[in-house]
Amino acid sequence: MKIAHVITRMIIGGAQENTLFTVKGLKEYSEYKQVDLITGPTYGPEGCIFDGQGQKIGKDYKLIPELVRNINPVKDIIAFLKLYRLFKKEGYDIVHTHSSKAGILGRFAARLAGVKIIVHTIHGLPFHEYQSKIVNLFYVLLEKLAARVSTKIVTVCNVMTEKALKKNIGRKEQFVTIYSGMDLEPFLNASQKRKTMREKLGIKENEIVIGKIARLFYLKGHKFLFEAMKDVIKEYPNIRILLVGDGILKDSFVKKAQEMNIEKNIIFTGLVLPSEIPGYLSAMDFLVHVSLREGLARALPQAMASGLPVISFNIDGAKEVIENGENGYLIEPEDSEMLRDAILTMIKDSEFRASMGRYGKAKVDPIFRKEYMVRKIHELYMELE
Domain ranges of the chain: 2-181+369-384, 185-364
The C-alpha atoms of residue 359 and residue 12 are separated, in whole angstroms, by: 29
- Complete edge-to-edge strand list for the sheet that includes strand 310-313: 266-268, 240-244, 209-213, 286-289, 310-313, 328-331
Name the stretches of the chain with pLDDT < 70. 51-60
Indicate the fold that domain 2-181+369-384 takes in CATH: Rossmann fold (3.40.50)
Which secondary structure element, helix H or strand E, spans residue 247, and what is its range?
none
Instruction: Kindly state the DSSP code that residue 248 receives in the 8-state scheme.
Output: T
The C-alpha atoms of residue 289 and residue 330 are separated, in whole angstroms, by: 10
Q: What is the CATH number of domain 185-364?
A: 3.40.50.2000
The C-alpha atoms of residue 124 and residue 111 are separated, in whole angstroms, by: 23
HSE (CB half, 13 Å, CA atoms) of 288? 30
* Cis ω for the linkage preceding 278 (within 30 of 0): no
10 Å Cβ neighbour count for 70? 8
Give the helix ranges, DSSP H, for 327-369. 336-348, 350-364
Q: What is the pTM of this model?
A: 0.87
Question: CA angle, 231 as apex, 225 and 237 as ends, to 5°?
Answer: 95
Which of these, 330, 320, 349, 245, lies nearest to 288 by C-alpha position?
Answer: 330
Q: Are 383 and 351 a contacting pair, CB within 8 Å?
A: no
Give the helix ranges, DSSP H, for 121-221. 133-148, 158-166, 185-188, 194-201
Q: How far is CA 102 from CA 23, 367, 370, in A?
A: 16, 27, 22
Q: Are 61 and 37 a contacting pair, CB within 8 Å?
A: yes
- Quick one: pLDDT at residue 51? 54
Q: Are 230 and 198 a contacting pair, CB within 8 Å?
A: no
- Quick one: pLDDT at residue 155? 96
**DSSP SS3 for 299:** helix
The C-alpha atoms of residue 29 and residue 378 are separated, in whole angstroms, by: 8
